[in-house]
C-alpha cells in the first residue's frame, strides 16, 4: 500500500525546496538535439550540382522543374522523362540547417548517399 507523501515532510529539511527547484531548472535547461528549420532553399553538391526546393516544387540539377512529396525536413521525387536521371527516385533528408543527404534509387536499389550543403550566396 502506498502512503501519500505529505508536503510538510517533503520539505521538512532546510534547503530541500531549493535543491528540488535547482534540479528542475537544470533538467529544463539541458541542451536538446538541434532541429533543422526546413529543407526549402538552394542546395549544392561537392561536384558542383545545384537544386532548389520551394515547398512541393523542385528545380533539378538539369534545370528541369517537377513536383514531389515535400515534408518539413525531407523531399522525394521521381525524375521526369527527358531528365538525365529519368526514372530514378530521389530522396533527400535534412540533417541540419546547412546539410542534407540525397540518395538516388534505381530499380528499387538505393545508390550511394551524397552529402549536399546550402549554397553560399555570392555577390
pLDDT of residue 92: 98
Intervals of the chain under pLDDT 50 = 24, 26-35
Cell numbers representing residue 59 in the block: 528545380
> What is the rounded CA–CA span in Å between residue 123 and residue 77?
31
| 53: number of Cβ within 10 Å | 22
Residue 55 near residue 68 (C-beta atoms within 8 A): no
pLDDT of residue 67: 97
pLDDT of residue 120: 84
| 113: number of Cβ within 10 Å | 11
pLDDT of residue 117: 97
- N residues, the chain: 123
pLDDT of residue 8: 58
Q: Where are the alpha helices (DSSP H) in 1-123?
A: 7-10, 16-28
Amino acid at each position: 500500500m502506498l502512503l501519500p507523501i505529505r508536503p510538510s515532510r517533503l520539505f521538512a529539511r532546510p534547503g530541500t525546496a531549493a535543491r528540488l527547484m535547482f534540479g528542475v531548472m537544470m533538467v529544463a535547461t539541458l541542451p536538446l538535439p538541434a532541429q533543422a528549420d526546413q529543407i526549402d532553399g538552394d542546395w549544392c553538391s561537392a561536384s558542383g550540382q545545384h537544386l532548389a526546393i520551394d515547398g512541393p516544387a523542385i528545380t533539378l540539377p538539369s534545370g528541369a522543374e517537377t513536383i514531389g512529396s515535400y515534408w518539413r525536413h525531407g523531399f522525394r521525387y521521381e525524375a521526369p522523362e527527358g531528365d538525365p536521371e529519368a526514372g530514378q527516385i530521389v530522396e533527400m533528408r535534412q540533417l541540419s540547417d546547412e546539410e542534407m543527404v540525397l540518395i538516388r534509387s534505381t530499380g528499387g536499389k538505393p545508390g550511394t548517399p551524397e552529402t549536399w550543403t546550402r549554397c553560399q550566396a555570392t555577390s
